[in-house]
Amino acid sequence: MLNNEKYQGFLDSPVGIIRLCASDIGLRSLDIVEDKGKSNENEHILFHKRQLEDYFSNCKEPKATQIDLSGNSEFDRSVWTALTKIPFGSTFSYKQLSIAIGNPKAVRAVGTANGRNPVLIIIPCHRVIGSDGSLTGFSAGIEIKRKLLMHENVIPQELF
């Protein structure tokens, strides 16, 4: 956990063990880990665990609420806000995302901010692909990105 993350919880999911970390203000990070650690969950972790359970079992869009992105740059937060507007089952290219934030020439900076997204899945950076349709980088790995996009029916199962 980072210095400003006081709480953590874990969730078994189809993509592995998800670790959720939170402050008193909201969810601070979500990542995929090898092993579960000690849980000390607060209401923000419990809320987002339910969101993720609905996402995986009922294909419901997780709500990007109760998130604490303090300490991050305004530019990064603008990219992450734009990511929350990509609909479930859809993808955007980095170029489309840069246009969405009103800065069409910032494609590389958008890619960098996308890669720094601390709240995977809830802030759906996995929905960003290359302009040629390729599955480009994902901090949790391309195979997890592929599984998430398959779950959302973006990639047909037979291509996996």
Separation between Cα atoms, residue 56 and residue 110, nearest integer Å:
27
Helices (H), 38-73: 43-58
User: What is residue 156's predicted lDDT score, i.e. its pLDDT?
Assistant: 55
**Structural class in CATH, domain 7-58:** alpha beta
Separation between Cα atoms, residue 83 and residue 102, nearest integer Å:
13
pTM of the model: 0.90
State the catalytic residues.
125
Question: Longest Cα pair distance anywhere in the chain, in angstroms?
Answer: 44
Separation between Cα atoms, residue 117 and residue 144, nearest integer Å:
15
Fold of domain 74-159: Arc Repressor Mutant, subunit A (1.10.10)
Show pLDDT as tens, one digit a residue, over the chain (160 residues): 555 679 999 999 999 999 999 999 999 999 999 999 999 999 999 999 999 999 999 888 888 889 999 999 999 999 999 999 999 999 999 999 999 999 999 999 999 999 999 999 999 999 999 888 888 888 899 999 999 999 998 875 544 4
User: What is residue 159's predicted lDDT score, i.e. its pLDDT?
Assistant: 45
User: What is residue 136's predicted lDDT score, i.e. its pLDDT?
Assistant: 86
**Segments making up each domain of the chain, as ranges:** 7-58, 74-159
User: What is residue 35's predicted lDDT score, i.e. its pLDDT?
Assistant: 95
